[in-house]
Chain A
Amino acid sequence: MKLFGIFRRRATTTIQSKAGLAPLLGLLAIMAISFAVTPLRAGFEEGWDAYQRGDFTTAINEWKPLATAGDTRAQFNLGVLFDQGKGVPLNRIAAVHWWRKAAEGGFASAQHNLANSLIAGDGVAQDYGAAIDWLKQASSLGLARSKYTLGKMYAFGLGVEADKTLSMRWIVEAAEAGNLAAQYNAAKMYRDGDGVAQDYREAVKWYRLAAEAGYGKAQAGLAQRYAAGEGIGKDLVQALMWTTLAANQGLGRAVTAREDLLATMSSDEIAAADGLVKIRAAAAD
């Protein structure tokens, strides 16, 4: 009898607590939702810290649930880890899978990387037309690198009719946004009158911007302008300085150009150029 009594009391308690549970459940639901949002951010940061430490396994473990839940930044980064084989065996199909999800979610860097996978045919069938579409989307979001790549697609006629004028337009846009490769290419196109009226001064302007930022090929190009005195006053000391900076980066043709210059210059001029190189090297350190 006693035993039954206990059972009855337990049953009653359960029924009573069920009655008072509705508001509690509501509260729990609200908490669950807010918790679900907070760990999303926390998980990303923890993943990012692990990534910086070189602990890619933890980064993947943190980002994977976020990526699955639709976080485009986590999707993009997961794609990078698969593409570079960090913390996982290199897998370009998986990289494309995550980049496509992030690209469809409007993440510009993912649109750019997906476009380049489509161009190279890495992890996906080569498709220049689809690549152009993604590059245009990323460009419209302001990504300079995509504008530059679009410029190259128009220059080579990949997935589009070759169009030097359109190529130049995209490359100058990317150059204006600070893309060094685009600045160097804009300089060459102005120098050669390729897709635009020849303009040595504009060529020098773009060579200089990229050269000052340390872009080796632009340094070699600027050196040539100084040596030829085209678009700028002829100045062999400046020419030698820029070609030496480019040669120091291991640029083969700058090494040759430097030897040619040295043969025509006085020891005073060479010493002056060496002094300038040292000043720049010291400033760079």
Chain B
Amino acid sequence: MPVRRLLIMVIVAAVVGVTGIARATVNDAANFINQLGNQAISTLRATDLTLSQREAQFRKLLSRGFDLHFIGRFVLGRYWRRATPEQQNDYIALYGEYLLQTYSSRLGGYSGETLIVTGARQASEKDIVVSTKLDRPNGLDIAADWRVRVIDGRYRIIDVAIEGISMAFTQRSDFASVIRRDGMEGLLTVLRARTTKISATASIN
């Protein structure tokens, strides 16, 4: 009996130990998103700044939080290795710009929002998904799930799913169809075109 009890204790300790580590990581990931979210919200509330200044600050936060290189490579999939080093360089620079512009312009403009972490779970061996709810004054709440991984000793976002739709997987299939049609240069042209557009203006020409 004592042996069995000891065995049970060892098993319980092991399980608690494992879940303890997992929970600690899950907690850290949730804290990481929570902190980033709070910083983002305070940026958005800085009404003494112009919209483009707020978007620029929001963009800096995103560039620190997202692992743009990791996401960029994932999104390109098997085409990454087929690209020349020059194309890879151009692609990473353009993709980073594209992602930051897309998210800072889509999310950076809003004010009066609150980000609430609603949960976090171990999604795979390395990844934790932190679920959040972006409360908007107009009632159009958004559910966003952030996939977080420790890369080079830092917590980094490697994907975000808005209302359950993964950005990385959506872009991966979009980009693949462009590459199949127009090759790698075609994709670079599309990204260049999307990132060079001019934003709203009060100027008369």
Contact = CB atoms under 8 A, between A and B. Distances in A.
Interface of A: 44, 48, 51-57, 73, 76-77, 80-81, 83-86, 90, 107-109, 112-113, 116-117, 119-122, 141, 145, 148-149, 152, 156, 158, 217, 250-253
B92 A122 contact: no
B124 interface: no
B199 A80 contact: yes
17 contacts: A51-B200, A53-B47, A54-B44, A54-B51, A54-B109, A54-B112, A56-B109, A76-B200, A81-B200, A83-B197, A86-B106, A109-B205, A120-B193, A141-B205, A152-B192, A250-B96, A253-B89
Contacts, number: 85
A133 B124 CA distance: 51
Nearest to B194: A120
Q: Name the residue among B63, B185, B190, B205 with the largest chain A CB count within 10 angstroms.
A: B205
Contacts of A84: 105-106, 199
B200 A119 contact: no
Interface in B148-205: 185, 189-190, 192-194, 196-205
- Secondary structure class of chain A's binding surface, majority of residues: helix
A152 B191 CA distance: 13
Contact of A54 (B110, B185, B189, B196): B110
B106 A119 contact: no
B190 A119 contact: yes
Contacts of A53: 47, 111
B84 interface: no
A217 B93 contact: yes
Measured as residues with beta carbon below 8 angstroms from the partner, the interface class of chain B is: 35 or more
A206 B41 CA distance: 38
B69 A54 contact: no
A107 B106 contact: no
Given A86-B109, A156-B185, A121 B44 contact: no
A44 B203 CA distance: 11
Contacts of B202: 44, 48, 73
A116 B196 contact: yes
Interface string B19-60: 000000000000000000000000010010011001000000
A53 B110 CA distance: 8
Nearest to B201: A109
Contacts of A121: 190
B50 A52 contact: yes
Nearest to B190: A120
Given A119-B193, A156-B185, A252-B92, A112 B198 contact: yes
A56 B68 CA distance: 28
A69 B112 CA distance: 32
Across chains A and B, which 6 residue pairs bring their CB atoms closest together, nearest first? A119-B193, A120-B193, A54-B111, A116-B193, A77-B200, A109-B198
Q: Name the residue among A54, A108, A121, A148 with the largest chain B CB count within 10 angstroms.
A: A54
A116 B138 contact: no
B111 to A, nearest CB: 4
B198 A86 contact: no
A119 B188 CA distance: 11
A73 B197 contact: no
Nearest to A251: B93
Contacts of A145: 196, 198
Contacts of A77: 200-201
Contacts of A86: 105-106, 109
Contacts of B201: 73, 76-77, 109
Given A76-B200, A109-B198, 4 more contacts: A51-B200, A83-B197, A250-B68, A253-B89
